[in-house]
Amino acid sequence: MADPVRALKDAQPVPFWLDDPARPDAASALVGDVRCDLLVVGGGYSGLWTALIAKERDPSLDVVLIEAQQAGWAASGRNGGFCEASLTHGLANGYQRWPDELGTLERLGAANLQAMEDSIGRHGIDCDWERTGSLVVATEPYQADGLAEFAELAARYGSRLDLLDQDAVRAEIDSPTFLGALWDREGVAMLNPARLAWGLRRPASTRACGSSSTPARPASPTPRTASPSAPRTAASAPAGWRWPPTPSPRCCAATARTPCRCTTTR
């Protein structure tokens, strides 16, 4: 029998998705203070898409994104790779908590998943996105009955879940263990989560300004009410980088597609 300690002696504590030779290098850090129209804190999916969509909607905005580590470093780069349309962590959970709004939530969830797929295609992001769907399987007769009730519930709220008998589910998963299944054909995609984050960083970098290795701290007290003369958002950091780099000596790098406005203290 092999010695497990010896077998693991070369193992590294690196998340699977992030242990990729295609992993981009960390960007250089921002130096000094930056003022902008919109400051996005965090380079995960939400932050990257927020910066990207903000610039797509209004290219005149001066957008800065800061990240304490690297884009996709945290949960966005180390999850299971399942992307589900549900906004309620499952239909049953949504039904228990928001039955009156569940139809709207289901519709918005499906639209959100499609918008993600469209964005990935539009920007040519290579993240192995595939709309595989998912199967919920039954191994006991009472579970098969429950799946039928669940399919009826989904239909009431505008979602389609196909009920499979034992022969039909075995055509998909050749095991006699499963007595039936519920197939959500459209509501789940599989992907490489780290490559999605890295891929979002690329189109965002041509439209916004961003920084890695840059923690945020309040630059000044925030007024309770905004006024036309109120100062723009300020990001103060010891280190970071901007999207896009610009040739201006007042910015932090050397090349640019879209000018950005920033002031730095070196």
pLDDT per residue over 24-47, tens digit each? 887 777 777 778 888 898 899 999
| pLDDT value for 24 | 85
First vs last C-alpha separation in the chain: 60
CA pair distance 118, 124, nearest whole angstrom: 10
- H or E stretch including 189? strand 188-190
pLDDT digits (tens, 9 = 90+) for 113-165: 999 999 999 999 999 999 999 999 999 999 998 999 999 999 999 888 999 99
CA pair distance 169, 136, nearest whole angstrom: 10
Asked if the model's pLDDT at residue 57 lies above 60, the reply is yes
CA pair distance 194, 128, nearest whole angstrom: 11
Among 84-93, 152-161, 200-209, name the one with the lowest average pLDDT: 200-209
Residue 5's pLDDT band (cuts 50, 70, 90): confident
Which one is predicted more confidently, 263 or 121?
121
Mean pLDDT for the chain overall? 79
Nearest Cα neighbor of 52 from 112, 128, 120 is: 120
Nearest Cα neighbor of 116 from 48, 61, 33 is: 48
Q: What is the pTM of this model?
A: 0.74
Phi and psi dihedrals of 87, rounded to 5?
-90, -5
Among 52-66, 148-162, 187-201, 204-218, name the one with the lowest average pLDDT: 204-218
Residue with tokens 């597609």, as numbered in its chain: 257
Residue 241, Cβ density class (10 Å: 0-12 exposed, 13-18 middle, ≥19 buried): buried
Which one is predicted more confidently, 261 or 217?
217
Residue 259's pLDDT band (cuts 50, 70, 90): very low
Asked if the model's pLDDT at residue 1 lies above 90, the reply is no
| pLDDT value for 31 | 77
pLDDT digits (tens, 9 = 90+) for 237-248: 333 333 333 322
| pLDDT value for 97 | 96
| pLDDT value for 219 | 52
Which one is predicted more confidently, 260 or 212?
212
| pLDDT value for 256 | 27
Orientation angle between helical segments 193-205 and 45-57, nearest 10 degrees: 30
- Domains belonging to the chain, first-starting first, are 24-74+193-218+231-266 (3.50.50), 82-191 (no CATH)
DSSP 45-80: HHHHHHHHHHHHH-TTS-EEEE-SS-TT-SGGGSS-
Does a cis peptide bond (omega within 30 degrees of 0) precede residue 244? Answer: yes
